[in-house]
Amino acid sequence: MPRHPPVHRALPVLWHGGDYNPDQWLESPEIIAEDFRLFPLAGVNVVSVGIFAWTRLEPDEGRYTFGWLDDLLDRLAAAGMKAVLATPSGARPAWLSARYPEVLRVEANRVRNLHGGRHNHCPTSPVYRRKVGALNRLLAERYGKHPALVLWHASNEYGGECHCALCQEAFRGWLRARHGDLDALNRAWWTDFWSHRYTDWAQVASPAPHGEGAVHGLTLDWRRFVTAQSLDFHRAEVAPLRAAAPEVPVTTNLMWTYDGLDYWKWAPHLDVVAWDSYPDWHNDREVLWETAARTAFAHDQMRALRGGQPFLLMESTPSQVNWHAVNTLKRPGVHRAASLQAVAHGADSVMYFQWRKGRGGAEKLHGAVVDHVGHEHTRTFREVAEVGRDLARLPGVPGTTVPAEVAVIFDTENRWALDEAQGLARERKDYPQTCALHHRAFWRQGIAVDVVNMDGDLSRYRVVVAPMLYMIRPGVAARLDAFVRAGGTLVTTYCTGMVDEHDRCHLGGFPGPLRATVGVWAEELDALYPSRSNRADAVPGNDLGLEGSYGIHTLCELVHAEDGAEVLAIYGEDFYAGRPVLTRHRVGAGRAYHVAARTEPRFLDDLYRGLAREAGLAHALEATLPEGVSAQLRTDGETDHVFVMNFAADAQALRLGPADGDLVDARDGSAVASPLALAPLEVRVLRRATRAGRAAPRH
Ligand code: GLA
Ligand code: ZN
């Protein structure tokens, strides 16, 4: 588990900074001077610049004005700071849209957008690619070797899709390459349904609200194409950066809940994963620790995208956003806890949108480090500065990783297929939420989890949880089977193995190609109205420690245990009372568990506590974690950093165990005694030699 190299060797510490838009303040040099006074007070060492600055860089076609950016980067370098430099393709000047309307996006309803907003370009348009490429080449040649530059930030939050004629043509080309001929496409898409057979490639077009929406294979392939085409655009736009400045890494900022792009296809093309985290802290659906757990789920996916390499938290808000339904302030202490939580899960940065609030436009009321009042004497600024001080006191953390023995599969294509599926409980499929709840049961125990897609290498894990693995692509069942035979523990649930990669149902009984591994046949799937429920009764004496009854809601699969699979819990009610809810099938050296119904979270907590014991999983701390307290580990194989975070409403005390080693406070080296006291929202970062390090002889 060696330490990963820093994103850029010129900034080998935890990054602290954010989006900075002096391009909105060029007429106010005194404001920019203030920014440079305030940066060190906030402990900021890096800023992201140029993100939407096209009009300030190329005010008219072919007329470039780089002077302000020259000055800015020089000034940053002189101040000992670094820059993440963006390409401006996320929004474009009006002159460009007016002169070349083909750059504007066409929506699914086939209406071309007007100029405006942002993220509103066609990814196929040769004109847009040429214009972006020309400007990016100039940026790369001019700044590629600038001492302030540590990272390229390509565009901004790539997303959306375009249905213009150029994109349709590209889609058909992509389909030809994927399917070969029309017969194969018709077979894959099951087009005899409702007489949807295509007889000419020209008949094939993207899904539309007033057109095709019933051919699920088409919808899936369209979404795959959107990913491929957006990625192709990205690769084209960064090609000049890579050519002129090969030593400067490239990233783009991904979005947490966004399902428009399959980030697993993107990750290999980024040098580091970066993402924008905006949890709705203090919402009225959940308590704070539940929001923290959901956020952890997202961090664990972002880290897993590149196999455990530390990621960058590229954006977060220091106070509130402006786009949630209710824009609640982060309560005192939440910003620090959320920031250190990101680091605990593998972030090597805490960065913000935005450094300073703009005066106008849609985001003028969005949280920022510097408010309109203009000075540092605000609660938000003080809390940001405190995070800056914390990060500076953790020099051993950057480059370390999170050693996960558990994987939760949360697969983007599977999500798309479930979105399409008509049936089940249509409004309550809740695939992301379900994966997050399975993940949470490990989070509560201080067990690290990678959130992966179904194509990854699973052999490095000891437990793989695959909630609602509705789609099973070729090769996946064989790999899961091999994983179990080799001694792994697999957990599957209701709605598994129903369709293939073209969204055609698997024949021969669900869970399709996993039936032999899992040892169940899912004969029927019942959906319950919100007011209805069932229950799971633990089979007495089961060795997992499940006891009594657990609530069941929404989805109940009626399964038969096959091939010697044991039944560990049964339905308590309805005509299927007595039939299995939880089964275990021993295969080779491993075990496959199947959870046939959607249960209350307490069932998952108990189940995964039992499985952790059975599989001997490592916990970040030996101490039992009270509800709302989370412990996460970052390590380089020699030194562990254990982040202990109290997201509960009350103070907590943790009884540390002998296996926890000699812990010291990572920020000041002071010894840590048991019980470890944690005020509400307190985060302690503890350091110790790894178990391997401790086993070595001492003198
Ligand atoms: C996104 C964008 C930013 C900004 C923030 C606001 O993450 O990348 O430009 O709009 O949202 O929360
Ligand atoms: Zn287009």
- CA 264 to CA 305: how far, in whole Å? 6
Residues in the chain: 699
Identify the pLDDT of residue 692: 66
Alpha carbon 438 to chain centroid, angstroms = 16
Identify the pLDDT of residue 294: 98
C-alpha radius of gyration, the chain, whole number: 26
Q: How far is the CA of 256 from the centre of ligand 1 (A)?
A: 12
Rounded mean pLDDT, 11-31 = 98
Identify the pLDDT of residue 694: 58
* Number of neighbouring beta carbons within 10 Å of residue 289: 21
Q: Which amino acid is at 108?
A: A
693 pLDDT above the threshold of 70 = no
- CA 408 to CA 296: how far, in whole Å? 13
| Closest to 88 (Cα-Cα) out of 57, 130, 46 | 57
Give the nearest ligand 1 atom to 317 CA. 12
User: CB–CB of 476/455 below 8 Å?
Assistant: yes
Structure-token match 């910003």, residue found: 335
The per-residue pLDDT for range 206-235, each reduced to its tens digit, is 999 999 999 999 999 999 999 999 999 999
Structure-token match 């428009």, residue found: 260
**Does the CB atom of residue 366 touch ligand 1 within 6 A?**
yes
Tokens encoding 571: 């339905």
- CA 571 to CA 537: how far, in whole Å? 6
| Closest to 308 (Cα-Cα) out of 231, 407, 242 | 407
Give the nearest ligand 1 atom to 323 CA. 12
User: CB–CB of 403/635 below 8 Å?
Assistant: yes
- CA 697 to CA 250: how far, in whole Å? 43
- CA 483 to CA 635: how far, in whole Å? 26
Rounded mean pLDDT, 628-646 = 97
93 pLDDT above the threshold of 90 = yes
**Does the CB atom of residue 274 touch ligand 1 within 6 A?**
no
Rounded mean pLDDT, 286-295 = 98
691 pLDDT above the threshold of 80 = no
Q: Higher confidence at residue 650 or residue 691?
A: 650
Mean pLDDT estimate for the chain: 97
The per-residue pLDDT for range 356-379, each reduced to its tens digit, is 999 999 999 999 999 999 999 999
Active site residue 405: no
Identify the pLDDT of residue 178: 98
Identify the pLDDT of residue 530: 97
Identify the pLDDT of residue 1: 74
Ligand 1, atom 4: nearest CA belongs to which residue? Answer: 353
The per-residue pLDDT for range 331-355, each reduced to its tens digit, is 999 999 999 999 999 999 999 999 9
Residue 496 banded pLDDT, cuts 50, 70, 90: very high
- CA 193 to CA 337: how far, in whole Å? 53
Rounded mean pLDDT, 440-446 = 98
58 pLDDT above the threshold of 90 = yes
Active site residue 30: no
Identify the pLDDT of residue 661: 85
| Pocket residue to mutate for ligand 1, from 118, 312, 315, most atoms within 8 A of Cβ | 315
698 pLDDT above the threshold of 50 = no
**DSSP letter string over 607-655?**
HHHHHHHHHT---S-SSPPPTTEEEEEEE-SSEEEEEEEE-SSS-EEE-
| Closest to 434 (Cα-Cα) out of 458, 400, 408, 399 | 408
Rounded mean pLDDT, 634-648 = 97
Identify the pLDDT of residue 257: 85
Identify the pLDDT of residue 659: 85
Structure-token match 């500076």, residue found: 392
Identify the pLDDT of residue 2: 84
Tokens encoding 642: 């254990």
Identify the pLDDT of residue 658: 87
**Does the CB atom of residue 321 touch ligand 1 within 6 A?**
yes
Long-range contact list for 235-239, CB < 8 A, 24+ apart?
235/269, 236/129, 236/132, 236/133, 237/87, 237/89, 237/129, 237/132, 237/133, 237/136, 237/154, 237/155, 238/87, 238/136, 238/152, 238/154, 239/133
Structure-token match 């294979």, residue found: 217
Express as a percent the part of the chain with pLDDT over 90: 96
**Does the CB atom of residue 411 touch ligand 1 within 6 A?**
no
> Judging by DSSP bridges, how do beta strands 274-276 and 253-255 pair with one another?
parallel
The per-residue pLDDT for range 587-604, each reduced to its tens digit, is 999 999 999 999 999 999
427 secondary structure, DSSP code:
G
Rounded mean pLDDT, 433-446 = 98
Q: How far is the CA of 85 from the centre of ligand 1 (A)?
A: 16
Rounded mean pLDDT, 84-107 = 98
**Does the CB atom of residue 223 touch ligand 1 within 6 A?**
no
390 pLDDT above the threshold of 70 = yes
182 pLDDT above the threshold of 50 = yes
**CA 75, 78, 80, 86 torsion-angle sign:** positive
Identify the pLDDT of residue 697: 41
Rounded mean pLDDT, 435-462 = 97
Tokens encoding 490: 């697999």
- Three-state DSSP at 362 gives coil
User: CB–CB of 350/342 below 8 Å?
Assistant: yes
190 pLDDT above the threshold of 90 = yes
| Closest to 524 (Cα-Cα) out of 514, 509, 513 | 509
> 58, 161, 237, 315: which is the annotated catalytic residue?
315
Identify the pLDDT of residue 100: 98
Identify the pLDDT of residue 669: 93
Rounded mean pLDDT, 154-174 = 98
**Does the CB atom of residue 354 touch ligand 1 within 6 A?**
no
Among the bound ligands, the one closest to the CA of 354: 1
Identify the pLDDT of residue 696: 46
- Three-state DSSP at 402 gives coil
